[in-house]
C-alpha cells in the first residue's frame, strides 16, 4: 500500500466493493496516510458517517473540497509537506452544476425546475454512481491535487459502480426518450404524419400510465437536454476512459466473509475484462488474537476441565470466547486463501478489525498504519 501511495505516478485511487465493507473508511484512511507522507490529496467521499465527516471538517454539504485540519507532517522540510482536502458528494448539486455549465441561463432554469429532472437528479438508481464519476472527472481536470482518492456509492453490488453510469446514460440517450421527443425533431411532413399516427398511440398509452403532466415534463426535459450537450453517453465514456488511464488504481475492499469475497471475486474478474488497473484487495475487519498460540481446541478443552471442577467462571467465559475467536480467525484465513487460490496475482493487504467504529483522524491513522506497514 505504501508503495502505491508513494508512487507519484498514482493519480487516482478508487475504493470499491459491496455495501458496508469499509469503502468510505479506507478511502479516508488512504487519503490521510498519503497526505501525511507528503502528497497533496483530495478525498471524494460519498456517504461518510456523520462523526467521521465532522472529524474531517465536513460539516456542510457544499460539494467542494475543504482543507482538513490536523494533518501531521513527519518531514522536517516544509516543501515536502503534504495536504489533505476532503469533500462529500452532493449528487443533486453535481447534476445541477452540469446543467448550469452547459445550458444558457433560461434553459437551465427551465430544466432545473422540471419535475422529471428533479426526481431523476435526486433519486434515479444510478445517478449517484454517475455523479461520483462526474465529480471525479471535474477534480481531475481541476488539477489542484496530485492524488485523488475516491470512495464509491453504497450500492448493494460492487458492479453497480461500473454499470450504473452506463445504464443511466443509456436511459437518457435511449430509445424511449427519443421516441417521446421525436415529433419535436422530425422535419419531413409525410414522415411526420406516419410517425404521429404510431406515436399518438404510444403516447396515448403512456399518458394513461404516467399521466399527461409527467409525460410533458419528460418531453420538455429531454428536448432541453438534447440541445444542451453531446449526450450523457459520451460523458460517461469520458470518465470511463479516465478510470482506465495509467495512474488510476482500483482497490477492491472486502470483509473476510463469504458474500463479500464472492462479490470481490466478480469485481476483480470484471475489472480484468474491462482492462481496468487493479492494485489489489483490501481485506478489512480481519479478526486477530493477541493470544494466537492457544488454539481453539486447547482453549475449549481447558474451559471444559475448569467447568467440570466448578471453578473460575470468569476464566471459563474468557476461554470460550477465545475458542470462538480462534475459530473465526481460521475461518477467515480459509476464505482469504480461497480468494488467493482463485486470483494468485492479486496482492492482498489486511486491516485488522478495530475495537470500535472508526470516527476520527486517530482512528483513520491506525487503519493506515495497519495497511501501510
Ligand atoms: N477495520 C475496521 N474496524 C472496525 N470498524 C470498521 C473498520 N472498517 C470500517 N469500520 C466501521 O464499519 C462501518 C462501515 O464502514 P464504511 O466505511 O462506512 O463502509 P462502506 O463505505 O463500505 O459502506 C463504519 O461504522 C466504520 O466505522
Ligand atoms: Mg460508504
What is the C-alpha to C-alpha distance for residues 204 and 125, in angstroms, rounded to an integer? 27
Of all protein residues, the one whose alpha carbon is nearest to atom 25 of ligand 1 is 357
Q: Are 220 and 249 in contact (CB under 8 A)?
A: no
pLDDT in tens, 96-154: 888 888 777 887 888 888 877 888 888 766 788 888 888 998 899 899 999 999 999 88
Q: What is the DSSP letter of 287?
A: -
Residue 364 CA to ligand 1 center (angstroms) comes to 10
Would you state the cell numbers that stand for residue 14, as one nine-digit string? 478508487
**Residue 251 near ligand 1, beta carbon < 6 Å:** no
What is the residue-wise DSSP string for 135-147?
A: HHHHHHHHT--SE
Phi/psi for 278 (5° steps) reads -90, 125
- Ligand 1 atom closest to the CA of 352, numbered from 1: 1
Per-residue pLDDT of the chain (373 residues; tens, 9 = 90+): 999 999 999 999 999 999 899 999 999 999 999 999 999 999 999 888 889 999 998 887 778 999 999 998 877 788 888 999 999 998 889 888 888 887 778 878 888 888 778 888 887 667 888 888 889 988 998 999 999 999 998 877 778 878 877 777 777 666 666 665 555 444 444 444 444 555 555 666 666 666 666 666 766 777 666 655 555 667 777 778 888 899 999 999 999 999 999 999 999 999 999 899 999 999 999 999 989 999 999 999 999 999 998 889 999 999 999 999 999 999 999 999 999 999 999 999 999 999 999 999 999 999 999 998 7
**Residue 25 near ligand 1, beta carbon < 6 Å:** yes
Amino acid at each position: 500500500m505504501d508503495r502505491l501511495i508513494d508512487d507519484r505516478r498514482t493519480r487516482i485511487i478508487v475504493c470499491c466493493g459491496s455495501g458496508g465493507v469499509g469503502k468510505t473508511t479506507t478511502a479516508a484512511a488512504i487519503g490521510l496516510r498519503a497526505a501525511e507522507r507528503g502528497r497533496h490529496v483530495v478525498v471524494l467521499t460519498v456517504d461518510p458517517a456523520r462523526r467521521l465527516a465532522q472529524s474531517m471538517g465536513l460539516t456542510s454539504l457544499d460539494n467542494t473540497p475543504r482543507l482538513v485540519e490536523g494533518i501531521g507532517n513527519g518531514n522536517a522540510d516544509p516543501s515536502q509537506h503534504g495536504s489533505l482536502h476532503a469533500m462529500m458528494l452532493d449528487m443533486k448539486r453535481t447534476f445541477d452544476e452540469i446543467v448550469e455549465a452547459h445550458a444558457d441561463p433560461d434553459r437551465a432554469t427551465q430544466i432545473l425546475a422540471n419535475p422529471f429532472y428533479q426526481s431523476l437528479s435526486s433519486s434515479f438508481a444510478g445517478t449517484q454512481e454517475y455523479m461520483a464519476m462526474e465529480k471525479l472527472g471535474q477534480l481531475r481536470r481541476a488539477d489542484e491535487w496530485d492524488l485523488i482518492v475516491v470512495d464509491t456509492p453504497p450500492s448493494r453490488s460492487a458492479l453497480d459502480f461500473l454499470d450504473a453510469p452506463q445504464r443511466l446514460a443509456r436511459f437518457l440517450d435511449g430509445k424511449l426518450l427519443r421516441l417521446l421527443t421525436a415529433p419535436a425533431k422530425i422535419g419531413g411532413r409525410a414522415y411526420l404524419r406516419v410517425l404521429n399516427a404510431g406515436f399518438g398511440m404510444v403516447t396515448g398509452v403512456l399518458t394513461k400510465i404516467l399521466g399527461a403532466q409527467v409525460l410533458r415534463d419528460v418531453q420538455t426535459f429531454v428536448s432541453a437536454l438534447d440541445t444542451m450537450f453531446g449526450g450523457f453517453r459520451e460523458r460517461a465514456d469520458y470518465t470511463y476512459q479516465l478510470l482506465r488511464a495509467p495512474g488510476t488504481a482500483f482497490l477492491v475492499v472486502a470483509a473476510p466473509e463469504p458474500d463479500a469475497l464472492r462479490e470481490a471475486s466478480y469485481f476483480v474478474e470484471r475489472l480484468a475484462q474491462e482492462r481496468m488497473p487493479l492494485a489489489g484487495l483490501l481485506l478489512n475487519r480481519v479478526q486477530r488474537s493477541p493470544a494466537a498460540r492457544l488454539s481453539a481446541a486447547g482453549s475449549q478443552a481447558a474451559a471444559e476441565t475448569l467447568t467440570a471442577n466448578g471453578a473460575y467462571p470468569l476464566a471459563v467465559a474468557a476461554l470460550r470466547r477465545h475458542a470462538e475467536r480462534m475459530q473465526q480467525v481460521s475461518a477467515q484465513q480459509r476464505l482469504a486463501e480461497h480468494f488467493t487460490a482463485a486470483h494468485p496475482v492479486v496482492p492482498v493487504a489486511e486491516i485488522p478489525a478495530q475495537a470500535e467504529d472508526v470516527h476520527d483522524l486517530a482512528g483513520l491513522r491506525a487503519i493506515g498504519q495497519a495497511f501501510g506497514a
